[in-house]
Structure 1
Amino acid sequence: GGSDPFIVLEDADIEAASTGAVAGRFINNGQSCIATKRIFVVKQVIDKFLEKFVKKTRSLKVGDPLSPETDIGPMVRQEAVKNLDAQVKDALKRGANLEHGGERLRRKGSFYAPTILTNVTPEMRIMKEETFGPAAPVIVVKDENEAIRLANRSEFGLGATVWGIDTRRAEKVAREVSAGLVTVNNVVVSDPRMPFGGVRHSGIGRELSRYGMLEFTNIKSVRVYEKSPLAHAHVE
């Protein structure tokens, strides 16, 4: 599993980052191991980011997963809906603010409204557990150092995303996030050319690329000497 952090620095392209947050959090209805799970935004840009993120989330169409017009389909089963709803209610009970959604939808199937929460704290279930559904907790941080610290405050370590125009700085942040794969200025995706895997409770080993193939092999060492170095050795 994963609880992938999504870090928005103060120099980020907010239009792109807010679109990335929608795509990263709500792809496959949030039911993906590499979906965005926890969104950290530096305080200087939180208002601009949240305005765009909420607006774009509100435009998502919930409906038949087989319809090309649908953005959000049903969750995998009712038990998953109950678990997600419990995570959201726990956050609201502990002081989180509801910006959008936050409820089961009254229609046939396991539907849950795309949800955005703010004023979220690390002690809430939605931050400590994997959130496998369409709910996005947004956390304001004072700077990149706090973002890194809170991003690494998780038992998981699969993927992560960092957004910033200064790519050298964003890459530096990416290197300090404890995760198996980190993307700068885009959502996390699997690429057969790159190793895929995590750290901590997100598993060990890698899939894909040359490293993935090596995971399915046993390394064997064979040494051959044309002439034995022991041929003329003196043995007492």
Structure 2
Amino acid sequence: QEQQGAALRAMRGRVDGLLVLSPYAESPGFLTDNLPQALPTVLINTYLPGQDHPVLSIDDHAGAMAMTRHLLDVGHRRIAFISGPDLNFDARERLRGFRDALAAFGGGAEGIELPGDFDEASGHRAGQELLAAGTLPDAVFAANDMMALGCLYAFAQAGVHVPSDVALAGFDDIPLARFVHPSLTTMQVSIAELGDRAMSRLLQLMDGTSTDGTGDKQTLVPRLIVRDSTTPPSGH
């Protein structure tokens, strides 16, 4: 965090605008203490109450709701969710979307939450924890693809087959997601489009051509990509 703060402070007088994508941007005082004043700035994938910088973000909440609804729609009822880091904005929004989708579905659906850290190792640990519980859920929804792949490996080591024994889904649509076996159902996030919009917004701020307020918010909704790792449970 201190290194990123120092990098922001070093921008004073050296650049005409900033795009800020930082896991620490929501920490109290991080931007106000380190961001050069009056410098055109666009924030990416963060939320700061009371700030007046434009914010462009992925709608992680809507994406997680869409994936959870997909798993429910094909008949899965006990769904485990592998979460990301507690302080990460994406992780919190994806967990919130999972919970909200289950709540909206009502009775008959059960959510199981396991900790994760957005890396393969934590997904592998979560998979082992589910295996040790003795009864697998119908489906596992990992908050990103890296954890889903770690979980897939844990299942493979134990002789558990995806999707016939348990369905598995991720989030992000990393390139590897389509090449593993089975190919991974996931939410496609267009980082390139997000970056393009953020740069366009920053250029508007810098040249004064913006017609709306500085504190506007824009979101991109991820797209559900259904592949082989999620299928209806037996008998459906």
Q: Same fold (TM over 0.5)?
A: no
The interval holding the TM-score normalised by the smaller chain is 0.3 to 0.5
**TM-score, normalised by the number of residues in structure 2:** 0.37
**TM-score, normalised by the number of residues in structure 1:** 0.37
More helix by share: 2
